[in-house]
Every structure is written in structure tokens, then in C-alpha cells.
Chain A
């Protein structure tokens, strides 16, 4: 077990201990769970040359080569290869387990069988201090915080060569944590992360990302993919994103979306940003007033996509499915016998809101009446959607959203 910063700039010795040059950098091949060292960059005067790892006798303390004959081919960069000092040390990585961005203060290497491999990165402040002070004092500073290489995500955009980096580990992060990381990274790094996510995860992540960053990411994306991600987002979140894009781009993206999904989003965009209409959910279960509990359950089970959260079913007039008669909570539905008519369970004294009402007012009604959702009716008393507690929470706790955006505004 040893560390990169104790190796670099130290002399490289040949077989009989004669100096060959100074160790400038260590080359690894990225892609393995623990990237193997495939060579060294050795500097002799002004020349930089490549020494393959097969010539390496020992790397403990200082680099020692097995032979004194080295191929003096000048060093040049190749795809798939990363320089530990130039491209990893002092650069940013994502610590998957810690759910945060870290900066590499040192790189841990070890010998596994015949090859040397990168096994972890040290992100401790002590590692910084060791490198800052004179070498004599370095050994007196104790303490490390090594993160296993398997637990970090290396960003391919860090190195100036083509890399095939696996992003599998990102799937272990919750979309909310991913969103925080996407907000904190620079635009290009965040675009790399989002590009690596599947459409569903990308949608969930982008719903939580600050408005400005989300708009920039969508504008930089391939339009086909952008439209696919928008389809996966809730219509309200998609509407928020499209509103922040330029009109041209928003129109193009809407045109590429599935007509049905695009229509939902466009309907929401007709309402003001802070209105109940904007935050309402159009995905809910309607059941005609003539139905029984069994019918209602069967309807829910037959749905291709069941609304989430599912809090109640909305009883509408059998003649006109847009006229709301009342609601039956999921709780009553489960407890009742299948043959019970829904009208027996129905609560017809439900407060409602208008789509133009302020979102805050909808939230207040939810709190005052202890409801989990409130129906949204238009001027003709037609049922348009529901505002759920989830949607309302975002309105009641705006500071959470504000804070998230704060970084974009300042740094």
C-alpha cells in the first residue's frame, strides 16, 4: 500500500540502482474496477519517455526497474489511458457512498499479484497538509480518509483523451442526491452525468435540479432524447422546464413528444407558474357514479399506469365524465364489500379549487381540511385535475427549492 504523492518527482532507478530519471506520472487504464498501472512517464532533463509496467521491479518507496535498458520512445497520450497525477490527483470525483463531490488529495496504489493497481483515493485534509509542508514533516501528519476506487465515479471529461467510463455506480444514487450533485458540478460535468442516466432516472433527477441548470441541460441535449425525458417527467415539471427554454426550442421539443403527453404539458403551460392549475396532477382515476366498489377496483387494476400516489377515486356523472359528483377514499374502497355501490361511500362535500387560484391557496385548503388531495374544477365545474399534498409541499416549503438554486446564482 503506498500513495502517489510519495512517488512522483522521486528518482527512478535502473536494475543496478543507477538513476534513469524522475518519475513524472503514472499511467493507468481506466475501465477495470481497480485500474491497473500500465506504465510510467519518466522525465530525464527535458525528455519525457514511456516505461511499460512490465519493466517495473518495485514501486515501494521509489520506482525501480527490472532492466537498465529502456525504450526511449517519447511519451504521447493514448485513448483509454489516464495519467494519475495529471488527470486524477487534484481533480473532482463523485463519492457514491458519501453522495457528494470530493477532490482527490492523494491516490492509493497497491500490488495485486503481479500488477500494481489504483485501489482508492485519499480525500482528507491531512493529505493536503502532508503535501503542503516540507517532506520531513509529512510523515508526522497522521490520518487519512481513503475512499475505495469502486465507490467513486470518475468523470470522463476530466481527461483530454477518449475514455470508456462505466457509469453503473450512479444508479446507486437517489435522484435527489444525483440532482444535488448535478447542480454543484460545472455544466459540462453535469451534462456528462445526465447523459449517462437512463431516461427514467434522468427525468426524476431533472425534476429536482434547479430551473436554470435544467433548462441549460435540456438545451444542450439531443432533441430526441430531451423529448423522451420530458415524457417521463410529470407534466407539471415538464411545463416548468419548457417555460424556461426559448420559445423555439420549447416548440420543437413539444413537437417531438408523444402528442398525448405534449397536450397534457401544453394544457398546464396555459396556467400561471404559481397557480393551482400548474401544479395539478391530471393523472387520476375517474369512475362513473353508477359503479360499485368492485367495478372501481377492477378499473384501477386494468389501468396501464396506475397514478402514484393513489389517494382516492373520483366519482363522475355517468352521463358526463367531466362532472365531479364526489370522491371515495382509497381506505373506504379497500374496506368495503365489492358489491357496495360507490354512491354509498361517496363524500360529496369536497372543497375544490379553480385552476387560476394561487397554488398557495390550494395548499392551505389541503392543510385546513386535512386532505390528501383537492380536485381542480374550471368555471363550468368540469373536473381538470387534482392537487396532491406532494405538489403542495413544494409550494409550502419554497426555501428548500430556493436553496437548491442558490449556488447557480452565486458561484
Chain B
């Protein structure tokens, strides 16, 4: 027993980056997307979460493996393996995807503050200045854990789901039996689900943390354990958010159009405090990502193109780095302040965009992970590879289907 425990120990020590990366998917946009799915289609999208969780696992695992084998981050590998034009294209799509998510984090801040009755015209500018100062003054690491702690509030959805007394029979049936609907609304939300669960920044994060730690191919099995645990955990939390909203909002026909609606699903567990609880969680998750994402995006771009970088640099020393970082924070804050912005719809929209851009990243990743000169014996095995390619094509086809259906919709042609 003791030796078994000792052998298991390194696995638990390795839990960290994979868990954190996967949980990061449960941010403002993630909550909005999952809550919308539950409110609109009840348990009808649970089956998709099972598949998407498998997808996330496969994609995250490939990222972590590339990091462990090559010792390099994704952007580095792209720049060193693809032509400059292809590199620019891939990194541009990553940039757009991340910029969209940064906007969504500031929208999350806006929505959270409005739950507390504070106008977003006050909270968002303050948050932007706050985040900018924290990061450039180098004190971000100190508050990071507080934000992370706040975002754990979303675990309350698990309790809420149980207390809402869902029809467990229906839950299990809908989880196990896939059924796809070819409607714009359904596909839209399905792609948003994929986009929020498999966000490029999660892969960038997990790969770079493996590289930072200097994980070797020999130690990789511990990292893989971390990735699997993280993926399962995030998938379960997401599924419970869908169950909670499906059990509370769906029967009443409440659509999630504001943070207030999403907070209602917490009422079974938090009663009158549902709004406060939800608001705190949303604020924590959004502030966490609002600092990390602009900075890591700026690092990725600066490293790939070789610009001088580092938060301790001055504007004269690293103009592009500082400019890009400041620009991203500013962009997020300004867009979140557009008057009359339908917050939840924009949040979901950001992840639709993410889902549409995802195939580009997936195909690039598949090329790299199967490059023998880079990966040696650690390229994908045949079955695994078929699965990975299948995922990439499936996501591409769904994205294409959404684009076609949307365009047809503009001309008033429906699929019936």
C-alpha cells in the first residue's frame, strides 16, 4: 500500500497547469455559454459536453506533449517550422481569438459590477487601470490567487444543480445519446461551446508552463495525468452549470440575456445571495483573465516576432511590447463600454469566433505534433492521430456549416 502511494505521489505533485488551464475555460464567456445552453436547450446539449471534454483532453494532451518533447512554446514552434507568411497568419488568428476573449473579460467585469448596482462606466475604466498597473508594476502575482479563489465560487453550480432536483433520468439519457440539430441557433451555441472549452490560450498556457518547468519526456506521464484530471474537472463543472440552468431556467422559459439571469440558477443553493455569489465569482474570474491574457498574448507575439519584451522594460526599451499590452487592455475596456451592448450575446459571440478560428490552430498543431524531426518517437500513434484529425475536421465542418447556414439565413433561405 505504501509503495503504491509513493508511486502515485508524483502524479499529484504534477497537478497544476493542466487543471488551471482547463478551469480557465470557466470564465465569464464560459459561464455565459454554458448557462445559455442550459436555458435554451435544457439538457439537450449535455451529450456535446461529453464529446467536447474528450476533444479538450486530446488537444491539451498534444500541447503538453509538444512542450515536454521540444522544450518550446507553441508560437516558437510555429515560427521555427512554418514559413513566415503562414506563421503570421496562424499568430494573427490566435491574436484575434485572444483579443476577443479579453473583450469578454471586461464585459464580465461590467456585468459583475452591474449586479452590485455599480455602473460599468465606473467599474470598467477602474478595472482597466487597476489591471494595467498591477501587471506593469509587477505585483500581479500577489493578487492572482485572490482572483483565482473568487472564481471558485462557480463550483456552487454543482450544489445548485443537485438542489434544483433535476430529472436525473433525463440528464443521463441526454448525456449519453447524441442528437444534432441543424439550426443556426443550435449550431451557433454548439460552436460557442467548442470555442469556449477548447480556447487557443489554454493550449498556449499548458504548453508554455510545461516548457517553463522543464518537464522532460520521461516525466511527461505525470503531466499527462494533470491534463486529464484538469480536463475532466472542467468538463464536470461545465456540465453542472448546464444542468443547473436547465433545471431552473429552462422550464420557466427564461433565456440568459443578462448576468442576472445566469445568477438565478444559483438560487437553489444560495437563495437571496445568488446574485452576490455569482457577481463575486464573475468578478474574480474576469479580473484574473483580464490581467493574464493581455500579458501572455503580448509575450507570445513579441517572442515569435523577436520584439524586445518584459514588463520591467520601459516604453523606450520595448515600445511594441508595452504598446501591444496597453492596447489590448484598452481595447477590452473600450469595447465593453459601448452603450447598449447585449452583454451575454457578445460573450457567446466571442466564443463562436473562437470556435470558427479553432481549426486553423488545430491543423497547425497536428502538423507540428506529427513532425518526426521535432517529436521523434513521440509523434501521435495511428489511432490517436485518427482521433485528433477527426476532431479537427469535425470542428471545421461544424464551423463551415454555421457559416453556410448563417449566409443562407441572410438571403432568407432556411433549412426548412
Contacts and interface: CB of A to CB of B under 8 A. Distances in A.
Given A132-B88, A220-B214, A409 B373 contact: no
Contacts of A191: 214
B143 to A, nearest CB: 12
B295 A410 contact: yes
Interface in A181-215: 184, 186-189, 191, 212-213
A160 to B, nearest CB: 6
Contacts of A105: 306
B169 interface: no
B47 interface: no
Nearest to A91: B80
Interface string A202-239: 00000000001100100010000000000000000000
B300 A411 contact: yes
Nearest to B85: A132
Interface stretch (A52-60, A270-278, A327-335, A396-404): A396-404
B141 interface: yes
B213 A188 contact: no
B2 interface: no
Contacts of A213: 212
B311 A406 contact: yes
Contacts of A188: 71, 211, 214
B211 A402 contact: no
Interface string B357-390: 0000000000000000100000000000000000
Contact of B306 (A102, A157, A405, A406): A102
Interface string B67-110: 00001110010011000110110000000000000000000000
Given A90-B79, A103-B79, A399-B138, A187 B212 contact: yes
B41 interface: no
Contacts of B300: 411
A404 B312 CA distance: 7
A20 to B, nearest CB: 23
A105 to B, nearest CB: 7
B72 A406 contact: no
Contacts of A408: 212
Nearest to A189: B71
Nearest to A158: B80
A189 B71 CA distance: 8
A337 interface: no
A164 interface: no
A274 B299 CA distance: 31
Interface in A366-411: 399-400, 402-411
A103 B306 contact: yes
A406 B305 contact: no
Contacts of A411: 73, 208, 212, 295-296, 299-300, 303
Given A100-B308, A184-B310, A187-B214, A403 B208 contact: no
Given A187-B211, A410-B295, A411-B299, A157 B71 contact: yes
Nearest to B373: A160
Contacts of B140: 406, 409-410
A180 B84 CA distance: 28
Contacts of A407: 299, 310-311
A166 interface: no
Interface string B187-222: 000000000000000000000100111100000000
A92 interface: yes
B257 interface: no
B139 A402 contact: yes
Given A102-B306, A220-B214, A408-B212, A399 B80 contact: no
A405 B311 CA distance: 10
A104 B84 CA distance: 12
A22 to B, nearest CB: 14
Contacts of B4: none
Interface in B250-286: none
Give the interface centre of B71, B296, B304 by most chain A CB atoms within 10 Å: B71
Contacts of A212: 212
Interface string B154-168: 000000000000000
B144 A409 contact: yes
Nearest to B293: A410
A169 interface: no
B137 interface: yes
B319 to A, nearest CB: 11
Contacts of A128: 84, 305
A90 B80 contact: yes
B109 to A, nearest CB: 19
Interface string A94-125: 00000011111100000000000000000101
Nearest to A216: B214
Contacts of A144: none
B337 interface: no
Contacts of B303: 103, 411
A131 B311 CA distance: 29
Interface string B107-140: 0000000000000000000000000000101111
Given A186-B73, A188-B214, A410 B292 contact: yes
A399 B136 CA distance: 10
A403 B84 contact: no
A157 B70 CA distance: 10
Contacts of A216: 212-214
A117 B312 CA distance: 37
Given A402-B139, A409-B141, A132 B373 contact: no
A399 B85 CA distance: 39
Contacts of B296: 410-411
B71 A406 contact: no
Contacts of A410: 140, 292, 295-296, 299
B306 A92 contact: yes
A83 B142 CA distance: 44
Nearest to A105: B306
A410 B135 CA distance: 10
B306 A186 contact: no
A399 B305 contact: no
A188 B215 CA distance: 9
B155 to A, nearest CB: 24
Given A409-B144, A411-B299, A411-B300, A187 B85 contact: no
A394 B373 CA distance: 45
A132 B305 CA distance: 12
A168 B362 CA distance: 41
B312 A406 contact: yes
Interface in B37-75: 71-73
Contacts of A157: 71
B141 A402 contact: yes
20 contacts: A92-B76, A92-B306, A101-B306, A103-B79, A103-B305, A128-B305, A131-B84, A157-B71, A186-B71, A187-B71, A187-B214, A399-B139, A400-B312, A402-B139, A403-B311, A407-B310, A411-B208, A411-B299, A411-B300, A411-B303
Nearest first, the 9 closest Cβ-Cβ pairs linking A and B are A103-B306, A187-B214, A403-B138, A188-B71, A403-B312, A411-B299, A402-B138, A131-B84, A186-B211
Given A184-B310, A402-B139, A411-B296, 11 more contacts: A101-B306, A103-B304, A125-B305, A125-B307, A157-B71, A186-B71, A399-B138, A404-B312, A406-B312, A410-B292, A411-B300
